Chain A
Amino acid sequence: DIQMTQSPSTLSASMGDRITITCRASQTISSWLAWYQQKPGKAPNLLIYKASTLQGGVPSRFSGSGSGTEFTLTITSLQPDDFATYHCQQYDSYPWTFGQGTKVEI
């Protein structure tokens, strides 16, 4: 199975900050990576797929990059609505796996 490791596990930030979350795969997954945002008590929400393609309706302050084994999710100018947990997911090969999540807190 491909292991997905996110760092950091928790990130403390302030409104207006630019933050970056890293997701590393235990083997190459090309660009077959998605990012989700999850708020407490809610289902995950798709932000980005194919490593860098923004899902419709997602604000442009979100961006994704990377290929192979290392990927990043960047949020420019953090907004109150962005304080949440972020998950990466590889879909290169089954079993498709998620990272452990990164909580972005104030």
Chain B
Amino acid sequence: VQLVESGGGLVQPGGSLRLSCTASGFSFSNYNMIWVRQAPGKGLELFSYISSSSRTIYYADSVKGRFTISRNNAQNSLSLQMNSLRDDDTAIYYCARAPGVYPYFDYWGQGTLVTVSS
């Protein structure tokens, strides 16, 4: 099982960025997925969830209306479109997999750093 994030980088406040998470080693279409972020020196924030079929999607209030989670099961990929970025969105962004119906997470990507700064 492997999850590999990409797409992070430096962006100005108000800008946009699209993150990707490429999955391999398991049947991606059968698993619910999440995005979690960790600001420098801070704890973990689970801010978005998508079910295996994309039927159920959740966002934390901190990103609602600005971020969009999506997945392409045919390409084994998870995406996060981030718009209207703010300084406090600066963090390492991880994708992770829920092993079953319960939302705890057994495999994580290595993370990708998003820095929002002028």
Q: Once the chains bind, are A91 and B43 in contact (CB under 8 Å)?
A: no
List residues of chain B with CB within 8 A of the CB of A34: 104-105
Q: Closest CB of chain A to B41's CB: distance in Å?
A: 10
Identify whether the interface residues of A are mostly helix, strand, loop, or mixed.
loop
Range, interface on chain B:
10 to 19
B103 at the A/B interface (Cβ < 8 Å)?
A: yes
- With A95-B58, A99-B43 as given contacts, are A43 and B94 in contact (CB-CB < 8 Å)? yes
Q: Closest CB of chain A to B1's CB: distance in Å?
A: 12
List residues of chain B with CB within 8 A of the CB of A96: 46, 49, 103
Q: Once the chains bind, are A46 and B43 in contact (CB under 8 Å)?
A: no
CA distance A97 to B94 in the complex (A): 15
Residue of A nearest to B62 (CB): A95
List residues of chain B with CB within 8 A of the CB of A89: 44, 46, 104
Q: Once the chains bind, are B103 and A91 in contact (CB under 8 Å)?
A: yes
CA distance A42 to B106 in the complex (A): 14
CA distance A97 to B109 in the complex (A): 19
- With A34-B104, A43-B109, A43-B111 as given contacts, are A101 and B43 in contact (CB-CB < 8 Å)? yes
CB < 8 Å: which of B45, B102, B108, B111 contacts A98? B45
Residue of A nearest to B41 (CB): A101
List residues of chain B with CB within 8 A of the CB of A45: 108
- Excluding A87-B43, A89-B104, 13 further A-B contacts by CB distance (< 8 Å) are A32-B102, A34-B105, A44-B105, A45-B108, A46-B106, A49-B102, A94-B58, A94-B103, A95-B60, A96-B103, A98-B44, A98-B45, A98-B46
30 contacts between A and B (CB under 8 A): A34-B104, A34-B105, A36-B44, A43-B94, A43-B96, A43-B108, A43-B110, A43-B111, A44-B36, A44-B94, A44-B96, A45-B108, A46-B105, A46-B106, A49-B104, A55-B106, A87-B43, A87-B44, A89-B46, A91-B102, A91-B104, A94-B49, A95-B46, A95-B58, A96-B46, A96-B49, A98-B44, A98-B46, A100-B43, A101-B43
